[in-house]
Structure 1
Amino acid sequence: MHRFKDLDIWKLSREFCSEIYKVTGSFPETEKFGISNQLRRAAVSIPSNISEGCSRKSNKDFSRFLEIAIGSMYEVETQLLISNDLGFLSDNRLEFLLAKLNSIVKMTSKFKSSLK
């Protein structure tokens, strides 16, 4: 078993989730139950699945939760791109968020491969 609070991937994904909440706070009110909600839920899912996976007794089970977290990362990426398409995010903000997200994806993938 791993201690999730000690994992850099959990710490970074938690910080990233806070960034998503800040960014979506400036989205139009009409998106409160639309893409804002979807982005927030997908972002929360990332550190949540990492921490839940840590409770599993086998690396195989933990690895599965990391796969789910990575899936949520790609979901967030898609939603950020759509948000940019709709004019809710500037190109600079999008690039900043995607760079952070890409770093977390790489770290999580590398960590997942080390579990085998």
Structure 2
Amino acid sequence: MITSYKELKVWERSDELAFRVFDLSETFPKAYLYDLTSQLRRAALSVPTNIAEGCASFHSGELLQFLNVSRRSLSETHYLVYFASRRKLIQHSELLELEAIAEEISKMLNALAKSIRRKKNQK
């Protein structure tokens, strides 16, 4: 059983993604502050936050729900980074880096959820 979200590599990587998104969005023009910047930051921060919140649950079903929310927030983050790239707010190389991290996190979330479901079904 997971004793702390901090022991999960997927949380660590998603925390890193959130930090990078925050740093990157510091350069966005003020005109984007209340829409794109705010939404991108909330989505990116939601990924590790939902992993952490799910790990506080005593029930595997609840943890799976939080991992699902985390996966959806990751997808939202991925799109918003792509959108920012199309608006020329981030460089293409930054887009590729963040996409690679997001893909890695997605695979890790899927593997963790699969493992939890398997253990849940063995009971």
TM-score class, shorter: over 0.9
Matching of residues 1-116 of structure 1 within 5 Å: 2=2, 3-116=4-117
Distance 1:55 1:107 in 2: 19
Give the AA of the match of 1:100: I
Structure 2 unaligned residues grouped into runs of 5+: 118-123
Give the AA of the match of 1:11: E
How far has the Cα of 1:34 moved from its partner? 1.5
The percent identity for this pair of structures is 28
CA RMSD across the alignment: 0.9
Secondary structure, counterpart of 2:6 in structure 1: helix
Distance 2:44 2:59 in 1: 25
Distance 2:58 2:76 in 1: 27
Give the AA of the match of 1:20: V
TM-score normalised per structure 2? 0.91
Structure 1 unaligned residues grouped into runs of 5+: none
Distance 2:8 2:97 in 1: 22
Question: Which structure is larger by alpha-carbon Rg, 1 or 2?
Answer: 2
